[in-house]
Amino acid sequence: MIAGCGSLAEASFKSIGIAISGKPDIAPDPDAVAANRFAQIKVNGSDGGAILVLGNIDGKRQAWYSADRSIVFLQDGLVVATHGGRSELRSMSIEGSNPFHDLRKVEAGTTVHRRYDVMPGYHYGMRVTGTLQPLGQETLRILGKSRELLHIQETLDGAGWSTRNHYWVDPDNGFIWKSVQAISADASLEIVQLKPFSADLRNR
């Protein structure tokens, strides 16, 4: 998979240096993050924590790579697939209206219709409904900087799922700085944007 992603992915692996895998948690160094020219996210899951770099963009779909070559695919800030890890999200799609284009506008009770394909176990075509609820403004610190963000909660139900996603959204441009997102019925990823892809920060 890496070989097909071009020179940007190769350069990511050669230059990253700060990528760590398999730790219970990691504390990113702000200077190291700033010094690396690639966009970076921090991801925590059941297999530990890692710093991932943006290695490829296909339309709106972004591929973020760890040093051990695990991959998280994001689109509009949502996890749409993963590669590596105990639970592997082969695909997630939203059917019908997609409020994640701009969560600032979401109203309480808004529903989202999702479809998941998850391994292991060949759990394909699982239909899960999310119900969104704005929880107000909260202060989060990312790399030592405080940000006032809107907290949106999503309750997932259906196909044996009973869990919650969380999103912390920039009130100025709708960018998701932090999220906790389920990739299976019993596994979630926490994602923090350390050095966002610059195009994502434009006003929507």
Q: What is the pLDDT of residues 153-171, one digit of tens each?
A: 999 999 999 999 999 999 9
Cα–Cα distance for residue pair 107/23, rounded to 1 Å: 38
Instruction: Domain count for the chain, please give it.
Output: 1
Q: From CA 98, how far away is CA 111, in angstroms rounded?
A: 9
Amino acid (1-letter code) at residue 162: S
Looking up residue 136, the CATH number of its domain turns out to be 2.40.360.10
What b/e string do you get for 158-185 counting C-beta neighbours within 10 Å, with b at 16 or more? ebebebbbebbbbeeebbbbbbbbbbbb
- Indicate whether 149 belongs to any domain: yes
Whether residue 120 has a cis bond before it, omega within 30° of 0 = yes
Q: Could you tell me if residue 57 is inside a domain? A: yes
Task: Name the one residue in this structure whose structure tokens are 């969380």.
Answer: 166
Full domain range(s) for residue 131 = 3-197
In this structure, is residue 204 part of a structural domain? no
Q: Is 202 contained in some domain?
A: no
Look-up: residue for tokens 């998850």? 118
Q: Tell the residue number behind the tokens 């695909």, with chain if given.
A: 91
Q: Would you say residue 136 lies in a domain?
A: yes
Residue 186 three-state SS:
coil
Amino acid at 26: I
Which tokens hold the place of 107? Answer: 């109203």
Please give the angle made by the CA atoms of 183, 189 and 190, to the nearest 5 degrees.
150
Does a structural domain hold residue 14? Answer: yes
Q: Check residue 175 and give its pLDDT.
A: 97
* Residue 103 located in a structural domain: yes
Measured CA to CA, the distance from residue 204 to residue 195 in angstroms comes to: 19
Report, as ranges of residue numbers, the positions in the chain whose pLDDT lies below 50. 1-23
- Whether the CB-CB separation of 79 and 90 falls below 8 Å is answered with no
Asked if the structure places residue 203 within a domain, the reply is no
Q: What is the pTM of this model?
A: 0.87
